[in-house]
Amino acid sequence: MKKIGRSLIFCFCITAFFATVTLAQTQFKVLATKKTSTAEKEMNQAAEAGFRFEGVSGGSTAFGGSEVVLIMSKPADADSKGRYQYKLLATSKTSTMQKELQQAGDNGFEYRGQTVYESFFGGDEIVVILEKDTKAEIKKYEYKLLATSKTSTMQKEISQAGEAGYIYIGLTTGKTAFGGSEVVVIMRRDVRVP
């Protein structure tokens, strides 16, 4: 009899656990815009409501034309209102992206995603999403952007960066202002704060 009682209690606990897991649902928000400045503003508004970045893609949508499309999520049980801050960088010049990435890294922003899309003003732009956890200790990052039209050159550059302590974090291919069609790799290493 004790065995049956224990089995029933065990089954009840398992059922209660899975019922709780099932009830904890995630909300999603899809953001789509032609202007990267609008995308950053909308991401930060969603973050204030507790949403967090999940993914990005650039391309043509059925009714919007060329847009940056972002997915953000908010677990039902999460208390993340105002916790995250976002920075969206967009440029067709790899030198500008390197400079802006480093400025963001110096301010504790961490790489979260990248894409290429045809901008509202014409031409392809590299778009990089960065996130900062406002409730965590600030970590600083040193970013390295590698861009070349030759994969053999990329092999050499990425290997050298790896030897210098950088890790791979992102890759896109697309047309940039100077190089035409290029492979663009972003790498990062932690900066030790004294």
Q: Is the pLDDT of residue 55 over 80?
A: yes
pLDDT over threshold 70, residue 162: yes
Q: Is pLDDT larger for residue 118 or for residue 29?
A: 29
Give the domain ranges of the chain.
26-191
The residue with greater pLDDT, 75 or 29, is 29
Give me the phi and psi of 175, to 5 degrees please: -85, 130
**Dihedral (C-alpha) 142, 53, 92, 174: value to the nearest 10 degrees?**
100
Region of poorest pLDDT, from 15-24, 35-44, 96-105, 126-135: 15-24
Say how many CA atoms lie within 13 Å of 101 toward its Cβ: 29
pLDDT tens digits, one per residue of 95-140: 889 999 999 999 999 999 999 877 666 667 889 999 999 988 888 9
Judge whether 120 and 68 are in contact, CB under 8 Å: no
pLDDT band at 40 (very low <50, low <70, confident <90, very high): very high
For 25, the 3-state DSSP assignment is coil
pLDDT at 58 over 90: no
pLDDT at 47 over 60: yes
| Distance of alpha carbon 110 from alpha carbon 65, whole angstroms | 29
> Is 167 a residue whose pLDDT tops 90?
yes
Q: Which of 8-12, 51-55, 78-82 has the highest mean pLDDT?
A: 51-55
Per-residue pLDDT averaged across 58-83, rounded? 81
Q: How many helices (H) and strands (E) does the chain have?
A: 4, 9
Query: pLDDT: is 3 or 127 the higher one?
Result: 127
Higher-confidence position of 55 and 59: 55
Q: Give the per-residue pLDDT at 22.
A: 47
pLDDT, position 21 = 46
Q: What is the pTM of this model?
A: 0.80
Give residue 4's pLDDT: 55
d(C-alpha 147, C-alpha 153), whole Å: 9
Say if residues 27 and 73 touch (Cβ distance below 8 Å): yes
